Structure 1
């Protein structure tokens, strides 16, 4: 495993993290605690130290799985990033809630679910600019930093070209940007990444496998069940993506190299990117993701 400094936080994070949206049940299956334990244990074994979750991955469900695991392990082994700004109601249904006092309730609920006194990174979660521009929100969050509940603040931008929030990161005391970035979606390279580099912000690339399309498992014409979030994607757009994936696989992925590992390493080649946070459904996928660290220097 390789490690990089996460912007101004001075945290050294593994270049491969563990994305945990799937633990909330919106990716076609429900998880049990032993299954989550096995995934996280395998991550630790591979040298991974970064876990990314959110309050709305199943109404703190993902956080609870992680917290129940952490309670039986060494908290200091992990850098835990979570998010705020949404209330989960049922599968695929959320409402935005960014009022300062409600965010404090969300933070306390996250700390309780995670069985910890602090989170390493607390991220504004894909909120609108109007909510972002509320000075009272950031004043309230700074007080939580001073109280020791939050080590660092970050922004998970909803649009991968949201320069407004990215440019204002230092102003609101945020040290990290989380953004969608992958071989099929390179928009952050144009404006967001240069801004991150100017401010020395850490960058977490989410959806680095393009919702699994870059895993190499799906051929043009593939369909997804109604319980899978990809079932909600536009059919024509999905087909075009799968056709592009086939082209990339034939023309860009070296022979004998796993496409998913290649896609993660491809993201990490950009100098602005600190780490990728792919999801993983089982320990075997954790191992496959971790192998991407070995490919970075050879691409």
Structure 2
């Protein structure tokens, strides 16, 4: 791009251009009532001493786990903090902080992407691929076959399981122009960024999660964010107790999709905060009023982790 500086990491550059949209104020979670909080037990252990008696350099914060980006990532996304659009669901305020895991210094002016499915498991741009599940049809057939099938296949299946589902597999090209529940915004001087969205639902084969990417060494222009490289590609996760509460709230309660639990998920590495487990605050007696989720991501700005 004419007039812009050449990013440092030439071999891993990917051009990113985001459409600038008007920003929206982040709505506060409804106050009142008892707050429920969840955090992994190892969160306090993530931070360690930055120096030792022998002056040997030590990592001050654990690197946040890298994951695949999944098949539903869209590079050219909207520059905004409120990604809700008109989607229904429990209000979710997502508070993120990005720090250098070696120095513990905040990573300012990074571009943070988030994207996730809606309350019924559908991804914008990929409704025809997504495996969401809504209310069961009322005109289900009454002449379903009975008895035991006689042509059941035998032997051990071979080959790879089907890809997709937002966890692994190759990238899929979008099949629609919708872009709800996707957005990009920059971290402030403290490495912080906040998004307003709705609590994600679930779909076949995956627990409830949010995808994220952190881009550095690019440039913010009038057109958005360009150049640079992704130093982190990960996912955020929610504890089981909270997900069970959301499942009782409409429209989540109308889902007919079998839900994969946090311990059953094949992407979450069971490492708590390091693996992307969010700290949550909400009114336990009325979760429908909203949830605040927060996490600190320890990244290596000099490394490329594009999740592909």
Higher relative contact order (CA 8 A, sep 6+): 2
Fold shared per TM-score above 0.5: no
Q: Please state which band the TM-score falls in when normalised by the shorter chain.
A: under 0.3
Tell me the TM-score normalized by structure 2.
Answer: 0.26
More strand by share: 2
